[in-house]
A and B are shown apart, each in its own frame.
Chain A
């Protein structure tokens, strides 16, 4: 080496001598091309994965990525076109099979190709934002095969045809369906939706539209709903078997719309088989099905609710306004209870205890029960019947259940104060005649009323019970303290606190001397221990037990009312009396006396007296005798007061008037209470507030409220505002 000028030593980079083989790409590609061909020919086993991978790798490294990609695309297209030809050639049922087979092949091939070209997939493709190998393969499949002119339509038609046949009852190859739809899904959800799902839904819609039309012409509602349910179940199953899960919701919506929503009104209102018919005949199964099916329809439940409501209101109205029904109050109420039971079980069984349905029922009941203003009276009579001796439900639990049900009806009443008045009357009668069957049941009913309406409602009623208990003690005390009673009849006194008991004006009658004596002794005893009180004998409410010996020798013990006792005792002194005689001697008021005599002389089996003439009516000069031919199978004969009847018209008017009178102070109290706290209020607000406050007891009439306000203005509790005419002011 010749010495040279000093140069800085440089380390030269190692230069790999790459022989740029001009045919490198061609050679490499051919290798791959052949390999791909083998792969598609199911001949992949002979290939060396490693070599192929390396080849591809090198190509990419040498910046042949783009060319490789394009060649690949072209190549795959070519193979796919071949496949297409064979698919197109398939006949009939083999079409789907061939498609499936080729799809499998393509998938397998794609995987291998992707593996081979992995390097390109990971480097070239992302950098150049190209579709990955696998996805490219799918896209090519989609475009070359699925969406090709000849295959596209045929594929869809085939699928839809198979589905249609299955709907009509044929058995089809479900696994083939499954793999076909899966293929579409693999190609992308938009492919599945555009190329299958949407047309499927459209075709289904027209199918079900037609079917529903046919069914509805010939089927009853219940039958139709059964079929609709079947179809819904079927479609759901179909989807789960060979479609994408997301289609379930959509096809269900289609079936619901075509079979149910479009025909909803017609179905529900169908004559002889629609909702009303189902309700009337308690067809629980059909009702349950209707409830669950129409849950899916917009406004389905509200339609059912409104049809049910108007039906219940209608039948209810007929029930309470039917004059035949009104003849027997107990039966009337029983029918109401039965109706309530019926609908309760429908709501529980078929409407899964849906609260909104329960509420709709409640408002319907409330509506029609208040159409008849005798309901408060009748319900009280029903309870009276149940609480008397000799009722059918012997055991306590059954009575409890019945009372609870009655309370449900009670809640619907708007005029609860009217009920209270009747209940008091009936309770008084029960207690005084000793007809209350079970003290426990009576008290239980009181507790229920108290829970519902508050202490005020029942405080007086409870007072009645207390009075009886105290009276028992007092009578005992009287007998203990009085030793000189001798032969006097035994009395049992019930002392009623005025105010707790329903008031009945009572004109005194002349008691037989034996009774008079001992009763005055009792009065003396009582007033001795209770200073400052006043006792008035209520001769229209008592009873007496009399021993009678008749002319024919028969002996009986008669249970009679006080009035009847006064009349009968007269015959101890004389044999014959005219009506006028009796009237004068006993001083019993005419109306009561006539009724009393009728019950003694004109009732078969109880005619202890004889009347001449035998006419029904009683005139002044009619003669009365003891009926010496009287017989009865029983030793003890009851001729006493009749069971509690429903009121006659005049009595009813009177009770109502009294209730209206009672309401006036309550309304005034409410007005004053409201104005005291609000100070200034306009007319409509007062009416609203008053109604709200008094609703638990009764519904106040706005005209009555206005009158009360005016009365309060006159008495200077309120005044009108001078500037704003709508306002009232509270005057402290």
Chain B
């Protein structure tokens, strides 16, 4: 069911500003309209409920990594909420102003994100996105495992699989911090798996990975 929009259409605003052509301003209008479809009327942001609805329309599960990628594209700061500015940024960049166009933009988005240069940015973003409070610097192990699977699972399935097992098994660390998170990515990129022959624990790897490697080697 469509939500009624309380926000007035911005077409008049678009016409008032010089510069954008009719076509572009039409696009912006549609983007904004689309935003209003999902936004909560009182807070003027898309909240988790709205995102869930968006996802069902996109036919993408809302735990899917593509939503995370979309959030990255938008530069979302708060997990579970899209602001208008973020929405505009994201959809403009994807050149999508409707659900179908947005859906079609996903494959390209995935490709874009998995390019190494972008992935280096997306990967820490994913971590920060999961920090639920302002001051927090760590995420709990279960959450970290989920996130690892989501973000690295496809590309590095064997490593991620083993790593998740280890993280669940060990009880020395209850949370993962950014330093360790970045370490995981480096590990997957650099270390030969499953031989682990080029892993040198004398180097500056986070201790959790030293312990992981030792656990693997013992098996």
Contacts and interface: CB of A to CB of B under 8 A. Distances in A.
A727 B204 contact: yes
Contacts of B27: none
Contact of B179 (A682, A683, A714, A725): A714
Nearest to A684: B202
Contact of A683 (B177, B180, B204): B204
Closest 7 pairs (CB-CB, A-B): A683-B204, A706-B207, A713-B179, A714-B177, A726-B203, A707-B207, A726-B204
Contacts of B206: 710
A325 interface: no
Contacts of B202: 683-684
Contacts of B137: 714
Contacts of A682: 204
A682 B180 CA distance: 18
B47 interface: no
9 contacts: A683-B202, A683-B204, A703-B207, A703-B210, A710-B206, A713-B179, A714-B177, A720-B204, A726-B203
A40 interface: no
A725 B203 contact: yes
A688 to B, nearest CB: 11
A53 interface: no
Nearest to A715: B137
Contacts of B204: 682-683, 709, 720, 725-728
Given A683-B202, A710-B207, A726-B203, 15 more contacts: A683-B203, A684-B202, A703-B210, A706-B210, A710-B179, A710-B180, A710-B206, A713-B179, A714-B179, A720-B179, A725-B186, A725-B203, A725-B204, A725-B205, A726-B204
Contacts of B179: 710, 713-714, 720
Interface string A668-686: 0000000000000011100
A interface, by DSSP: helix, strand, loop or mixed?
helix
Nearest to B183: A720
A575 B138 CA distance: 64
A667 B204 CA distance: 17
A706 B186 CA distance: 18
Residues of B in contact with A, size category: 10 to 19
Contacts, number: 29
Interface in A678-732: 682-684, 703, 706-707, 709-710, 713-714, 720, 725-728
Nearest to B202: A684
Interface string B123-140: 000000000000001000
Contacts of A720: 179, 204
Contacts of A714: 137, 177, 179
A709 B180 CA distance: 12
Residues of A in contact with B, size category: 10 to 19
A658 to B, nearest CB: 20
Nearest to B179: A713
- Interface centre among A682, A684, A713, by most chain B C-beta atoms within 10 angstroms, is A713
A703 B210 CA distance: 10
B120 to A, nearest CB: 10
A710 B180 CA distance: 9
B206 to A, nearest CB: 6
Interface in B187-206: 202-206
A53 B205 CA distance: 102
Contacts of B205: 725
Contacts of A726: 203-204
Contacts of A683: 202-204
A613 to B, nearest CB: 47
Nearest to A708: B207
Nearest to A714: B177
A713 B137 CA distance: 12
A80 to B, nearest CB: 83
Contacts of A727: 204
B127 to A, nearest CB: 14
A681 to B, nearest CB: 10
A710 B205 CA distance: 10
Contacts of A684: 202
A22 B84 CA distance: 147
Interface in B143-192: 177, 179-180, 186
Interface string A82-121: 0000000000000000000000000000000000000000
Nearest to B180: A710
A488 to B, nearest CB: 56
A707 B180 CA distance: 12
A138 to B, nearest CB: 75
Interface string A124-162: 000000000000000000000000000000000000000
Nearest to A719: B179
Contacts of B177: 714
A512 B63 CA distance: 70
A488 B118 CA distance: 84
Contacts of A703: 207, 210
A713 B204 CA distance: 12
- Interface centre among B137, B202, B204, B206, by most chain A C-beta atoms within 10 angstroms, is B204
Contacts of A706: 207, 210
Nearest to A682: B204
A247 to B, nearest CB: 59
A709 B177 CA distance: 14
Contacts of A728: 204
Nearest to B137: A714
A726 B177 CA distance: 19
B26 to A, nearest CB: 43
A723 to B, nearest CB: 12
A568 to B, nearest CB: 50
A631 B179 CA distance: 73
A656 to B, nearest CB: 19
A648 B29 CA distance: 79
B145 to A, nearest CB: 20
A684 B205 CA distance: 12
A684 B180 CA distance: 19
A424 B137 CA distance: 40
B131 to A, nearest CB: 14
Nearest to B177: A714
A545 B129 CA distance: 70
Nearest to A683: B204
B186 to A, nearest CB: 7
A703 B209 CA distance: 12
B175 to A, nearest CB: 10
Interface string B66-81: 0000000000000000
B213 to A, nearest CB: 13
Nearest to B206: A710
